[in-house]
Amino acid sequence: MSIRQSPARTLDELQAQLREISERASALQARVDSNSILQRPRPESWSVAECIAHLDISNNAFFPIWDSELERAKGENLLAAAPYRLDFWGRILIWSMEPPPRFRVKAPQNIQPLNVGPTEQLFPGFLSRQRQIMNTVEKARGLAIDKIKIASPVDTRIRYSIWASFCLTATHERRHLLQAEQAVQAVSSH
């Protein structure tokens, strides 16, 4: 059982969390082999490959939104400094997703890992996207990212701040890395 992590309050704290996530993913990559990466511990659970593919699908949905909104914020000179505050939806979603999960929810169809692609590319691709997220977070430095609202790429009825989306991304990654770590352990114990 892992200890729940508090949401970041600054970009530096968030970047430290993202580095830790990258380290966990690298450690997981070293533990998983070509046979176990696709094995589901139970028929209704995801394999390691499916967990990583799901994170990539989810993260990729944010990049165009982040890029356009951060560019707009720079153009409009929307400036602010940390500490940043989470909005209502950010607090609720992070509270519900932070591992260990309080409850399980089926991923919406548009972010389900239906095709994981070549397994040898999963971890390098994930780690590359982590660097891309870190670069995006750095581009947000000095901007009022806790005031700028975006629509969730998963459910456009939900709106939260860019800051909340950054923190939610880290929380979501911790959740599915824990799931992947548990999948490796379950598969290797059989």
Using one digit for the tens of pLDDT, what is the confidence trace for 16-60?
999 999 999 999 999 999 889 999 999 999 999 999 999 999 999
The answer to whether the CB of 177 falls within 8 A of the CB of 51 is yes
User: Which segments of the chain are extended strands (E)?
Assistant: 149-151, 159-161
- CA separation, residue 92 to residues 39, 49, 96, 135, 170 (Å): 32, 28, 6, 26, 15
Cα pseudo-dihedral 156, 160, 166, 171, rounded to 10 = -80
Query: At 2, is the pLDDT very low, low, confident or very high (cuts 50, 70, 90)?
Result: low
Lowest-pLDDT choice from 73-77, 102-106, 158-162: 102-106
- Bridge-partner residues for 161, per DSSP? 149
Question: What's the whole-number average pLDDT of the chain?
Answer: 93
Question: What residue ranges do the domains of the chain occupy?
Answer: 53-188
> Rounded to whole angstroms, how far apart are CA atoms 88 and 93?
9
Q: Is the pLDDT of residue 1 over 70?
A: no
Cβ neighbors of 54 (< 8 A, separation 6 or more) are 46, 107, 111, 112, 113, 176
Segment 86-93 shows an average pLDDT of 96
Tokens encoding 186: 């379950």
Q: What are the tokens at 88? A: 């209502």
